[in-house]
Amino acid sequence: MLNKFRGDAALLAPAPAMLEAKTGVPTVACIPMQFDHGLPEEDGVFDDRGSTGAGQAVHTTIAIVAYPRISNLDEFQPLLQVPGVRVVWARSPAQIAGADWVILPGSKATASDLQWMRHQGLDAAVAAHAKVGKRVLGICGGLQMLGEALIDLHGVDGNEAGLGLLPLVTLFEREKTVRRVSAHLPALRGAWAALQGVDLQVYEIHHGQTQLRSDMEAGQTQCADEPVPGMVWQSAQGNVWGTYWHGLFENAAVVQALWGAKTPSLDDVFARMAQGVERWFTVKM
């Protein structure tokens, strides 16, 4: 079986016959390259063309900052399937400029990826996006970046100033928190209010412990708060949201609440691919 072929299978001839002559093993099928397969992406190598609304007119553009040490990409696969949602893997300020959402994903090296963002000018672009009231979501390492400071006393990740979009300080610890979590979302503010009452199955994997520092918002009439202690923080305006929870968008109820849409589950994806294999194997090489 030849996998990921990018063209007319007939063009392979006479290679299949030659392979069988040399090895005694026949070629039984040719599976074409699948771009819109629906499987989660790998952290290191992924299709960075993004998506264009799942075949419908685009109503929401989401820019996911693709720093060099990005992690847990699989949790964003459902976004590529939402009708009308366009996903952009952002590596420059221009790719953020027209977005409705900006997501700072997890990172294998948060301090280093923050430095990379500053070198690219993405720190200013994210701040400008938040300043006009558009949504910013930070997940795990991305949450830590949203705060005021990263403090590393044990050589885990590195010290670095944060983006200052939430009054948070993160202290890295030697031991990593790794656990699955069942959660129920309480009342949320502003742009995230649609998620109130949603039940989640999520997970944590992080070294940092983050604390809200209300003293860093001196003079503010309304302050950031912590609707889920130690796990979820939101800005005073309600447009900036940070959490340690991975897997938010893998919960169908979250996608339904935010966009009123359903996306295929992994079971659906595997079933579709199995049907494809049956079809491709009917063509003898």
From CA 79, how far away is CA 102, in angstroms rounded?
Answer: 13
39 domain residue, yes or no: no
pLDDT in tens, 110-131: 999 999 999 999 999 999 999 9
First to last CA, the chain: 9
pLDDT of residue 221: 46
- 195 and 171 in one domain? yes
- 26 and 90 in one domain? no
- 60 and 16 in one domain? no
- 29 and 66 in one domain? no
What is the reported pTM?
Answer: 0.81
- 59 and 21 in one domain? no
- 85 and 12 in one domain? no
201 domain residue, yes or no: yes
- 75 and 151 in one domain? yes
From CA 77, how far away is CA 250, in angstroms rounded?
Answer: 8
* Catalytic residue selected from 30, 129, 140, 206: 140
pLDDT of residue 68: 94
* Catalytic residue selected from 129, 206, 207, 246: 246
pLDDT in tens, 131-165: 999 999 999 999 999 999 999 999 999 999 999 99
- 205 and 106 in one domain? yes
- 77 and 191 in one domain? yes
Decide if 37 is catalytic.
no
- Residue 12, domain extent: 1-34
280 domain residue, yes or no: no
Give me the CATH number covering residue 153: 3.40.50.880
Which amino acid appears at position 167 of this protein?
P
Which residues of the chain have a pLDDT value below 70?
A: 1-4, 35-38, 40-55, 217-222, 282-285
From CA 219, how far away is CA 85, in angstroms rounded?
Answer: 38
277 domain residue, yes or no: no
157 domain residue, yes or no: yes
191 domain residue, yes or no: yes
Contacts of 234 (CB under 8 A, 6+ apart): 188, 189, 190, 192, 224, 225, 227, 240, 241, 242
- 129 and 7 in one domain? no
- 29 and 58 in one domain? no
- 140 and 254 in one domain? yes
User: Could you give the number of structural domains in the chain?
Assistant: 2
Decide if 246 is catalytic.
yes
248 domain residue, yes or no: yes
| 3-class DSSP state of 212 | strand
